[in-house]
Structure 1
Amino acid sequence: MSSPQPPMPPAAPTREAAPGSAYPGYTSPIPVVRTHLGHAIASEWTKIRSVRSTMWTLGVFVLLVIGIGTLTGVVVANSDPALSGESPLGLGFFGLLLGSMCIITLGVLTTASEYGTGMVRTTMVACPSRGRVLAAKGIVFFLVAFVVTLVSASLVAFLHVAMLQGQGAKDPSGGEWLRGTVGISAYVALLGLLSLAVGSIIRHSAGAITIMIGAVLAPLVIALFMFSQSLEDVRQALFEYSIPNQLSVFYSNSLSQSGPSGWDPLWIILGATAVAFAAAFALLEKRDV
């Protein structure tokens, strides 16, 4: 004879599954949060502050801007005569011109290095919206580059004014202070942002850095060797719209007598950066990662 079966326990109460759930009766305890641009920005901020290239490039940038700027101020202060009737802010030009190479390098590495290491695949899995990823990279990089440049340029400007005060140099006006600190910081940050977009387009760190350094130096170098009278207009245009000359415009010390003046260089680099970003967005949507 068979033994009596034990009584079955009462069935556990079931919960209605969410519509479309693959496991009826189960509700995840983890809240589902709709992602947005803020999450992508937080992710890119974690990346840019945790990689060694950021500290190296920005460290060298600060060293060049402050070191060369201070050295230039000391040399001019000990010369006879020193600046006569000119603003001392222009002495910061040399350090920023060399330091901009560091910002260009960091801008390229912010995007192109992920393609070299394959990290971009993980990035796109975590955030399938490719345009959002590129926008987050651009926002984080611009803010970092602008703040570091502003602090460095302002410190050098104050040092130059303090060293050359009473030696024939004129006191900078409010507009000159604004262009020599905020204006040139925005220009350098936008130049780095342009490099970031070029890095996204080229997807090769060395190639994109070479292109950007060529864009900075080649027009001025080419113009120096244009001796033909028939090429005078081209030579003049290369001088006027070269990046070194546009940097000097912010210090009211342009290398040419015509061309961009005041805040014009900022609008020029802003337009070029917008075009490059539009191309980067379009290619990012069409290409495989």
Structure 2
Amino acid sequence: MSSPQSPSPQAAPFLQQAPGGAPYPGYTSPIPVKRTHLGHAVASEWTKIRSVRSTMWTLGVYVLLVVGIGLVTALLVAANASDGSLDGENPLSMGFFGLLLGSMCVITLGVLTTASEYGTGMIRTTTVACPSRGRVLAAKSIVFFAVAFLVTLVSTFLVAVVDTAVLTDAREPSGSEWLKATVGVSLYLALLGLVSLAIGSVIRHSAGAITIMIGVLLAPLVIALFMFSESLQDLREALFEYSIPSQLGIFYSSSLTDSGPSGWDPLWIALGTTAVVLGFAFFLLEKRDV
């Protein structure tokens, strides 16, 4: 006697999408479907950068260096200055030393904005949520540039105001000097960080990218110091003039050399360099696997 057979499961009906995109004919989803755009990616990247602890620590150290060293330098100069020794001195130039050290924090944060996701594997989740890789990198660049610029602007403006009040014997800075020492230098540091972000996207390794950027920051100046040969004189001067510390000094009218870039030239150089490096990062991003 044969055992009773269980009824065979019915095959699921074939689902056809309706012309309106609904899975069933005549069905309309109550959830609105919106086309994604760059604004959504920017909102996502803003959530990321403000929610990780590394951002708060890096920016905290950055502000501490820029403001702390800038104010301490002005106080030491004022305490040890004799009568008339500050005549003709630009009080805003005291902010240079804090920014020079703080630039390493901007470099670090720029690299971590992109490279850290490759180290943790989070980049896979990011590209699933936003398959357009160019849009992701553009959103990261916009968010980072805005954060770096605003934090630097607030810090440099605070240092400039306090240093001007402390160094009462120094001359009164002009309007153009105020603009260069606040807005100009903030744009320059933000662009430097954007180059770091692009290098992080290209290298995809945090430690390696940070090492490369610190080398770009310090190596030209250090190498130039050891070029004693007369045949290398032109190269030595070029390394001095176009090194990042020297270009930072131009925003405070205290360049390390008497020739080379001047005025707003460092900002245009940084803008051109950023465009080239970031463009290469976009190109490479579309050619490589995640």
Please give the alpha-carbon distance, in whole angstroms, between the structure 2 residues aligned to 1:131 and 1:236: 39
Q: Secondary structure at the match of 2:80?
A: coil
C-alpha deviation, 1:24, in angstroms: 3.1
Q: Secondary structure at the match of 2:208?
A: helix
Give the structure 2 partner of residue 13 of structure 1: none
Please give the alpha-carbon distance, in whole angstroms, between the structure 1 residues aligned to 2:247 and 2:179: 16
Amino acid at match of 2:112: L
Give the structure 2 partner of residue 70 of structure 1: 71
Amino acid at match of 2:248: L
Structure 1 residues 70-114: Cα deviation after superposition (integer angstroms, max 9, x where no partner): 110110001132422111101100000000100100000000000
Give the structure 1 partner of residue 139 of structure 2: 136
- Give 1:234-253 correspondences, 5 Å limit: 234-253=235-254
| Bigger mean CA offset, 25-34 vs 70-79 | 25-34
Give the structure 2 partner of residue 267 of structure 1: 268
C-alpha deviation, 1:21, in angstroms: 4.7
Please give the alpha-carbon distance, in whole angstroms, between the structure 2 residues aligned to 1:84 and 1:124: 58
Please give the alpha-carbon distance, in whole angstroms, between the structure 2 residues aligned to 1:85 and 1:281: 47
Give the structure 2 partner of residue 228 of structure 1: 229
**Residues 246 and 265, structure 1, Cα contact 8 Å, conserved in 2:** yes
Give the structure 2 partner of residue 281 of structure 1: 282
Please give the alpha-carbon distance, in whole angstroms, between the structure 1 residues aligned to 2:81 and 2:188: 33
Please give the alpha-carbon distance, in whole angstroms, between the structure 1 residues aligned to 2:81 and 2:21: 82
Give the structure 2 partner of residue 8 of structure 1: none
**Residues 22 and 29, structure 2, Cα contact 8 Å, conserved in 1:** no
Q: Secondary structure at the match of 1:78?
A: helix
C-alpha deviation, 1:29, in angstroms: 1.4
Q: Which runs of 5+ in 2 are unaligned?
A: 1-16
Give the structure 2 partner of residue 94 of structure 1: 97
Structure 1 residues 193-224: Cα deviation after superposition (integer angstroms, max 9, x where no partner): 00000000000000000000000000000000
Please give the alpha-carbon distance, in whole angstroms, between the structure 1 residues aligned to 2:159 and 2:199: 30
Give the structure 1 partner of residue 173 of structure 2: 172
**Residues 224 and 236, structure 2, Cα contact 8 Å, conserved in 1:** yes
Amino acid at match of 2:133: R
Q: Which runs of 5+ in 1 are unaligned?
A: 1-15
1:162 to 156, 165, 171: 165
**Residues 198 and 208, structure 1, Cα contact 8 Å, conserved in 2:** yes
**Residues 18 and 27, structure 1, Cα contact 8 Å, conserved in 2:** no
What is the percent sequence identity of the aligned residues? 75
Instruction: Classify 1:182/1:20 alpha carbon distance in 2 versus 1 (closer, same or farther; 3 Å).
Output: closer
Structure 1 residues 264-287: Cα deviation after superposition (integer angstroms, max 9, x where no partner): 000001111100111100111011
C-alpha deviation, 1:22, in angstroms: 4.2
Is residue 219 of structure 2 the alignment partner of residue 218 of structure 1? yes
The number of residue pairs the alignment matches comes to 272
Amino acid at match of 1:79: N
Amino acid at match of 1:191: L
* TM superposition score normalised by structure 2: 0.92
Structure 1 residues 169-201: Cα deviation after superposition (integer angstroms, max 9, x where no partner): 110000000000000000001000000000000
Please give the alpha-carbon distance, in whole angstroms, between the structure 2 residues aligned to 1:170 and 1:21: 72
* TM superposition score normalised by structure 1: 0.92
1:83 to 82, 86, 93: 86
**Residues 65 and 153, structure 1, Cα contact 8 Å, conserved in 2:** yes
Amino acid at match of 1:87: N
Is residue 185 of structure 2 the alignment partner of residue 184 of structure 1? yes
Please give the alpha-carbon distance, in whole angstroms, between the structure 1 residues aligned to 2:289 and 2:24: 33
Q: What CA RMSD, in Å, does the superposition of the two structures yield over aligned residues?
A: 1.1
Please give the alpha-carbon distance, in whole angstroms, between the structure 2 residues aligned to 1:160 and 1:80: 14
C-alpha deviation, 1:18, in angstroms: 3.3
Is residue 149 of structure 2 the alignment partner of residue 149 of structure 1? no
**Residues 66 and 102, structure 2, Cα contact 8 Å, conserved in 1:** yes
Is residue 46 of structure 2 the alignment partner of residue 45 of structure 1? yes
**Residues 17 and 27, structure 1, Cα contact 8 Å, conserved in 2:** no
| Bigger mean CA offset, 78-87 vs 211-220 | 78-87
Amino acid at match of 2:244: I
